Amino acid sequence: MKKIILLLSSAFLISMNISAQEGTPSLKIFSNFNYDISTEEGEQAFKEFELKRAYLGYSYNIDEKFSTKITFDVGSNSSGSAYTAFLKIASLKWSASENLNLNFGMVGAKNFKFMEKAWGRRYIAKSAQDKYKWANSADLGLTADYKISDNISLDAQVLNGEGYKKTQASNGLFRGGLGITYKIGNISLRANQDISPRSSYDDSSASQTITTAAIAYSTDNMTIGAEQNIMQNAGNLLDSEQQLMSVYGAYKIAENYKLFARYDDASETTQAGSYTVYGIERKMTKGVTIALNMQTWTDAAEDSEAENTLFLNLEYKF
């Protein structure tokens, strides 16, 4: 019943304000058809149509300094039924000055926004830290963005640390982060430090940190990027370390057509494997994009066979 109420509430909110000059409704949907081509001879190949995600949102400018945003995330996940609605964003933004912005409430986290924007194909695959569950895309807390100059910006966040699908843990510990982004010409550089404090103080516990270094080069016709992540004291366990690397790129071959590819080395994570995706993307019209691609997962274990799946992904939004 709660799920139905959330869906109806979001639909009502959008319809009620659809003509408001100060506000903007939004809708974004990710769907696909996939076909497992790794099936052994004699077995039935797995294939399905999927509706992976639907984001229903609304933003409203209260005045020149204050604005608010609300977004519902509807999709399949382990926290609910086949389709469950979660309140992902419910934030108040204060433009304190020309250089400083503060966001409070259920806010978008900063951990992997750089790669998500540079990779630009969330409808096909999540960015690395999101895909391998190193961080959450949104959480309750406070974020700050400060523009030092046209080239340099700082950001910081203090969050519950549990994500937007869970309540705060009983230990009441926060998760914090600090990042810096430097842009020069077509190149953007990013460094970020994320920390999750330990909840116990025995000899085997320590605060978990994630250090990220990323680079992206982008022109009108091409994008190339890479990101390296190191998690120290993983799971707050002293001297436990994981590493995660991702490289990606896209090239415009014709009007509305792009080739793209990405490789993730997750061999030193709990998932222990590597992920590859490559394909071609076409922009059908404003807000509608389709992509034919091959996605491959290979376990890090010796002699593991690759799992290949053919995807037809579709994103439509306004």
Among 30-39, 174-183, 258-267, the minimum mean pLDDT is found in: 30-39
**pLDDT confidence of 5, banded at 50, 70, 90?**
very low
Pairing of strands 208-218, 222-232: antiparallel
Q: Rounded distance, CA 190 to CA 114, Å? A: 7
Overall average pLDDT of the 79-94 stretch: 84
Pairing of strands 187-196, 23-36: unpaired
Overall average pLDDT of the 207-230 stretch: 98
Tens digit of pLDDT for each residue in 132-161?
999 999 999 999 999 999 999 999 999 998
7/42: higher pLDDT: 42
Taking residue 19's Cβ as centre, other Cβ atoms within 10 Å add up to 8
Q: By the 8 A CB rule, do 131 and 291 touch?
A: no
Overall average pLDDT of the 13-31 stretch: 72
What is the predicted pLDDT for the residue at 42? 60
Overall average pLDDT of the 39-66 stretch: 87
Q: Rounded distance, CA 223 to CA 262, Å? A: 11
**What is the model's pTM?**
0.88
Q: Is the pLDDT of residue 8 over 90?
A: no
Three-state SS at 39: coil
**pLDDT confidence of 200, banded at 50, 70, 90?**
confident
**Which DSSP string corresponds to 87-152?**
EEEEEEEEE-SSSEEEEEEEEE-STTHHHHHHH--TTT---HHHHTTSS-SEEEEEEEEEE-SSSE
What is the predicted pLDDT for the residue at 171? 59
Q: What do you get for the CA distance between the two ends of the chain, in Å?
A: 28
**pLDDT confidence of 218, banded at 50, 70, 90?**
very high
Tokens found for residue 46:
């797995």
Three-state SS at 6: helix
Tokens found for residue 36:
């497992």
Overall average pLDDT of the 223-242 stretch: 97
Share of the chain above pLDDT 90, in %: 78
What is the predicted pLDDT for the residue at 2? 43
Tens digit of pLDDT for each residue in 114-128?
999 999 999 999 999
Q: Is the pLDDT of residue 12 over 50?
A: no
Overall average pLDDT of the 49-62 stretch: 94
Overall average pLDDT of the 63-74 stretch: 96
What is the predicted pLDDT for the residue at 16? 47
Q: Is the pLDDT of residue 165 over 60?
A: yes
Task: Please list, in sequence order, all residues whose beta carbon lies within 8 angstroms of the beta carbon of residue 138, skipping any fewer than 6 positions away.
Answer: 88, 89, 106, 107, 108, 109, 163, 164
Tens digit of pLDDT for each residue in 258-271?
999 999 999 999 99
Domains and CATH numbers, the chain: 2-317 (2.40.160.10)
Overall average pLDDT of the 67-73 stretch: 96
Q: Rounded distance, CA 221 to CA 254, Å? A: 9
